[in-house]
Structure 1
Amino acid sequence: MTKTALITGVTGQDGYYLSRLLLQKGYRVVGLVLPQRQSNLAKLGSLVNKLEVYAVDMTDTKVLSGLLEQVKPQEIYNLAAPSFIPDSWDDPLGTLDLVTGTAIRLLTAVRQTGLAIRFYQASSSEMFGKVDCSPQDENTPFRPMNPYAAAKLHAHWTTVHHREYYNLFACSGILYNHESPRRSPQFVTRKVCLGVAAIKLGISDRLEIGNLDAKRDWGYAGDYVEAMWLMLQQKQPEDYVIGTGKLHSVKELVATAFESVGLDWTRYVVVNPNLVRPDEHFLLVANSTKAKQKLKWQPQLSLEKLLEKMVHKDLERLQNGTIAATGKP
């Protein structure tokens, strides 16, 4: 029997890689988009022709219940969230509704339909926030430091409550930073890779960066969506921390990206204090022992290979004119 998976946030980076993975596994993949964001389907490229897409008001539980009855998915992956964390300060209530509200309404719809659906909630390492210890695992206390993280934490606990109180198969993946050529240029990894490509082609002669000493646990989105899928294939629903367990500084990121095209980063990088984020000193790094033992999951793509992949994709885009050096089409 062909399995059906339903994905919210299907037009985002993770939505793309998860859709691709599930299609390769023979799934029927159903994507949900908000009616006002249907234009974002263009981000999926030719992949969109292989999906069933519904424009749905995800603020209406009754509509969601009706859709579940119609589609009858075996798995739901709730990836709906704002794409850029700092923006959550400008709209904390909207962020709460999109992240937590969507999770609550979907889980309520699962309960109301009575269908045997396995539910995945996209949680975030941002929930750990101002940590006292590193690395972090599933038992590390949460101390969210921004509206996005607080909303993610509410959705995370909502998922736990539905698992424990209603006995639903509901689990969360606490994912650390995961990147790809599909990342928005707002994110430092893509900003650096696009900047390197533009400098290599002579379109630009400098790259402005904030805190070079900030450190992150960066992995490849294509690896992380496999962990999401593995969580829903287990006998029991549990929560898992997903990351590489390796910290790299922005300076290392920059040096590696420039090195991938044979350039010396010190000749082109300018530090701009205005680009420094106030929360960059927290050392968020994953202890994914549980995922490695129970899911048999391991990150496959190294940061060096990931950055090389991203820089060369941006070289290709700039050369064929599909994007400008600003990252806009």
Structure 2
Amino acid sequence: MPTALVLGVNGQDGSFLAEALLRRGYHVIGAARDTTCRHVAPASGLTYERLDLQDLAALGQLLEECSPDLVFHAAAVHGPAGFAYEPVWAAMAAVNTVSLHAVLEHARTRSPTMRVIYANSAKIFPGPLAGRIDETTPYRATCLYSIGKIASLELVRHYRTRHGIAAGNLILFNHESRRRPANYFLPRIAEALDRALADPAFRLEVETLDFHGDWSCAAELMDIAVDIAEKAPGEDFVMASGTTWTGRAAVETVFARHGLDWSRHIAVRQAPRDPGPAFSVALDLLEAKTGRRPKKHISDIVELLRPASPR
């Protein structure tokens, strides 16, 4: 039975990764700094290890003891749009980048056949995005978070090309679930839809809807991530739905599914403006290497996010 170590198992991505790996028969070790495992059921078969990724000695000991065939690094210090990273820079660098280096060094020196998959971010691409976005799109740092993610991207590529480690980046666009903080855009819209269905007078205020976004289902993306680990672990992939929406079109679509006029329930502070050129995430490499691409429509994703909707 292959062994997989999931760093950041209590986060959205880590927990869905663990569940996908368990379904496929892996022995899964999940690590996070909390006292207990948050999302994955105790009866699932997962082995939980309490670990602070800023403690490199403890991380090295865990890698030595469990000797995983596969490591998913899904831990991160991050926040929604507008989050100030300056006060948490040291912790963010330690968790997002320095601990990744420790994993890659363990692979180089102790376990050269170990595969390493890193959850990277589309924040490496400077906004506003426009045109075709794929694995060759130039990246540039625009905040402290993207500085760390670009460093991690290059670390993975360095250990892959210089030392032959089967390591890859998942360059993730917006991907949603109930396990994601409720202050992100689509979870807020899902809650607003739920409340509007219960109260015709409900209104949510948002700053603007004149922007472009690509939203996918986190559980679906993480299941595809396991395919990447099994079929193409030594490559980088952009991961998204492949369908771009304006915020306005997304809101109109999910409210119309329930026969509601979104404008009665969503108040936009800024005057309407041109959202600018659209972008499109190209999934050609993902389909070629795994035979898969996300299928969940934005309305399906919002239904999964609604607090009152059945699971």
| Mapping of residues 296-315 of structure 1, within 5 Å | 296-311=291-306, 314-315=307-308
Q: Select 1:198's aligned residue among 164, 180, 195.
A: 195
Superposed displacement of residue 47, structure 1? 5.5
Could you report, residue by residue, the CA deviation over 1:282-327 in whole angstroms, capped at 9, with x for unpaired residues?
855311111111221211211122122322xx1248xxxxxxxxxx
In structure 2, how many angstroms separate the alpha carbons of the residues matched to 1:162 and 1:134? 30
Q: Does 1:58 align with 2:57?
A: no
Superposed displacement of residue 57, structure 1? 3.1
Superposed displacement of residue 258, structure 1? 2.1
**What amino acid is aligned across from residue 292 of structure 1 in structure 2?**
E
| Mapping of residues 112-131 of structure 1, within 5 Å | 112-114=109-111, 116-130=113-127
CA contact (8 A) 1:214 1:249 kept: yes
After TM superposition, the score normalised by the length of structure 1 is 0.85
CA contact (8 A) 1:179 1:218 kept: yes
Q: Select 2:183's aligned residue among 186, 203, 208.
A: 186
CA contact (8 A) 1:6 1:30 kept: yes
Superposed displacement of residue 126, structure 1? 1.0
| Mapping of residues 130-169 of structure 1, within 5 Å | 130=127, 133-169=130-166
In structure 1, how many angstroms separate the alpha carbons of the residues matched to 2:173 and 2:233? 23
In structure 2, how many angstroms separate the alpha carbons of the residues matched to 1:45 and 1:293? 31
Q: Does 1:67 align with 2:62?
A: yes
Could you report, residue by residue, the CA deviation over 1:103-128 in whole angstroms, capped at 9, with x for unpaired residues?
11221222332352100011111101
Change (3 A) 1:122 1:104: same
In structure 1, how many angstroms separate the alpha carbons of the residues matched to 2:183 and 2:276? 19
What residue in structure 2 maps to residue 208 of structure 1? 205
What residue in structure 2 maps to residue 327 of structure 1? none
| Mapping of residues 1-329 of structure 1, within 5 Å | 2-34=1-33, 37-38=34-35, 41-42=37-38, 44=39, 46=41, 50-85=45-80, 86-114=83-111, 116-130=113-127, 133-202=130-199, 205-234=202-231, 237-273=234-270, 285-311=280-306, 314-316=307-309
**What amino acid is aligned across from residue 257 of structure 1 in structure 2?**
V
In structure 2, how many angstroms separate the alpha carbons of the residues matched to 1:206 and 1:213? 18
In structure 2, how many angstroms separate the alpha carbons of the residues matched to 1:177 and 1:204? 30
**What amino acid is aligned across from residue 214 of structure 1 in structure 2?**
F
Runs of 4+ in 1 over 4 A off after TM superposition: 280-284
CA contact (8 A) 2:115 2:233 kept: no
**What amino acid is aligned across from residue 70 of structure 1 in structure 2?**
E
Change (3 A) 1:185 1:48: farther
Superposed displacement of residue 261, structure 1? 3.2
List alignment gaps of at least 5 residues for structure 1: 274-279, 318-329
Change (3 A) 1:138 1:16: same
Hey, which of these two has a bigger chunk of helix by percent?
1
**What amino acid is aligned across from residue 212 of structure 1 in structure 2?**
L
Q: Report the identity percentage.
A: 25
CA contact (8 A) 2:241 2:295 kept: no
Superposed displacement of residue 187, structure 1? 0.6
Change (3 A) 1:140 1:258: same
In structure 1, how many angstroms separate the alpha carbons of the residues matched to 2:125 and 2:285? 17
In structure 1, how many angstroms separate the alpha carbons of the residues matched to 2:15 and 2:8? 9
Change (3 A) 1:128 1:68: same
In structure 2, how many angstroms separate the alpha carbons of the residues matched to 1:143 and 1:244? 23
CA contact (8 A) 1:138 1:241 kept: yes
List alignment gaps of at least 5 residues for structure 2: none
After TM superposition, the score normalised by the length of structure 2 is 0.89
In structure 1, how many angstroms separate the alpha carbons of the residues matched to 2:182 and 2:14? 17
In structure 1, how many angstroms separate the alpha carbons of the residues matched to 2:14 and 2:115? 17
**What amino acid is aligned across from residue 3 of structure 2 in structure 1?**
T
CA contact (8 A) 2:303 2:309 kept: no
CA contact (8 A) 1:127 1:149 kept: yes
